[in-house]
Amino acid sequence: MLLACTGLSAGYQGRMIVSDVTISVAGGEILALLGHNGAGKSTLLRGLFGLLPGRSGHAEVAGRSLDGLSPREVLTNGLAYVPQERSIFPKLTVAENLRMGAYALADASLVPARIEAALGLFPRLRERFGQLAGTLSGGEQRMLEVARTLLLDPKAIMLDEPSIGLAPRMADQVFEVIRGLAAQGRAVLLVEQSVRRALSSAHRAVVMEMGRIVLEDSAAALSADDRVARLYMGAAGKSFAKG
């Protein structure tokens, strides 16, 4: 497995939000994290990326331990993270934003080729290469965030709500890119508000409730699970933990 954690617990100011979570994602695989707001999905991603100092448990990428590493060290060891909040530099151009993504790259001679490879995935960004990032549409800004993470050629990438605030057509384009990242052999860990879109793109999915994993199966199986329908398709239903 390219990305894995075992017994991971994490939270804020001494309060554990995620408890004893164990997951793994293979190269070329998309794993979707499902759950209502407050279930711990974003906390899990932040914990994996080294943003929560009280994290416990073990995490690794391509066999390299991430335990005790800073976010910068996590990134240089092969795990990238695109948070839910916009993280572009609005007053810099697309080109400048992309170059910022290579700030930790030891060999500067690799930057032009890495930028070209990223633009190959995002032709729209090539068209707007000299444009200020703050003038891009929401979908284009999200594409820029993903493209920027690729400058360090990560083995695994985590995306938190990549389609939030996007029109359906633009969200579909973003998910096409996400599937392309997996097709390149990267491990993708995905939190997504649209359960239908997540399950249609993912290979496997896990359901979180109150900081714990309560169900794990193939995306196809969960798409056909009536408990998923009750929880996410508008009906009240029972929780997985109780049902």
Q: 78, 57, 18, 15: which is closest to 209 by C-alpha?
A: 18
Q: What stretches of the chain adopt beta strand conformation (E)?
A: 3-12, 15-25, 30-34, 56-61, 64-65, 79-82, 156-160, 187-191, 204-209, 212-218
If DSSP states are collapsed to H, E and C, what string results for 190-231? EECCCHHHHHHHCCEEEEEECCEEEEEEEHHHHHCCHHHHHH
Q: What is the pTM of this model?
A: 0.92
Distances (CA, A) of 26 to 56, 63, 153, 155, 220: 22, 12, 16, 10, 17
Per-residue model confidence (pLDDT) at position 233: 55
Per-residue model confidence (pLDDT) at position 90: 96
Per-residue model confidence (pLDDT) at position 229: 75
Query: Average of pLDDT values for 168-191?
Result: 94
For residue 227, pLDDT beyond 90:
no
For residue 127, pLDDT beyond 90:
yes
**DSSP code of residue 141:** H
For residue 97, pLDDT beyond 70:
yes
Alpha-carbon span 62 to 40, nearest angstrom: 24
Per-residue model confidence (pLDDT) at position 242: 43
**How far is the first Cα of the chain from the last one, in angstroms, to the nearest whole number?**
31
For residue 155, pLDDT beyond 80:
yes
Handedness of CA 214, 220, 221, 224 (dihedral sign): positive
Query: Average of pLDDT values for 142-158?
Result: 95
Query: Average of pLDDT values for 58-85?
Result: 96
Q: How confident is the model at residue 243 (pLDDT cuts 50, 70, 90)?
A: very low
Q: Where are the domains of the chain?
A: 3-232
User: Considering only the top CATH level, what class is 3-232?
Assistant: alpha beta
